[in-house]
Amino acid sequence: MHNETSLGRDDGAAMPSAASTMKIIILPVSLDKLGQNYSVVFQGKTIISKTRNPTANACRRLVALGHSGRLEVWGSGEHFARLIIRDIETAACLTVSENIAHGPRVTAYQPFIAQSFKEVA
């Protein structure tokens, strides 16, 4: 009997296969006072036109589009992936945070809520 589930998953679900690996290409588009901005291309279409956090934002966009599984992050013309994300649904809940008190670190993603700011008169 052939077992479709892979070792390493506690819930018994099959791990994504290499055939189901998605690929994005991140491209530098501009540099501003806050840092480098990138666009993100997936299956030949730009899914994000400008972001400073291309991998995490791409994971959130792909999950919103109904995708799941493994993701490879490539730069244009590169011969190997810059980064491999094993599960975009997990990565979609994370972001990179950096401020004056600490350097870059991975933190829980909290969506921006415009209603939390009041207009100053």
- pLDDT at res. 111: 84
Phi-psi region of 44 (alpha: psi -120 to 50; beta: other; left: phi over 0): left
> pLDDT (tens digit, 9 = 90+) per residue, 55-101?
999 999 999 999 999 999 999 999 999 999 999 999 999 999 888 89
Helix, strand, coil % over all residues of the chain, rounded to 5:
15, 35, 50
Higher-confidence position of 101 and 16: 101
How does residue 110 score in pLDDT terms, banded at 50, 70 and 90?
A: confident
Q: What is the DSSP string of 4-17?
A: -SPTT-TT-PPPPP
> pLDDT (tens digit, 9 = 90+) per residue, 25-52?
999 999 999 899 999 999 999 999 999 9
CA distances in angstroms from 51 to 14, 30, 112, listed in the order given: 32, 10, 14
- DSSP secondary structure code for residue 118 in this structure: P
Instruction: Answer yes or no: is pLDDT of 5 > 50.
Output: no
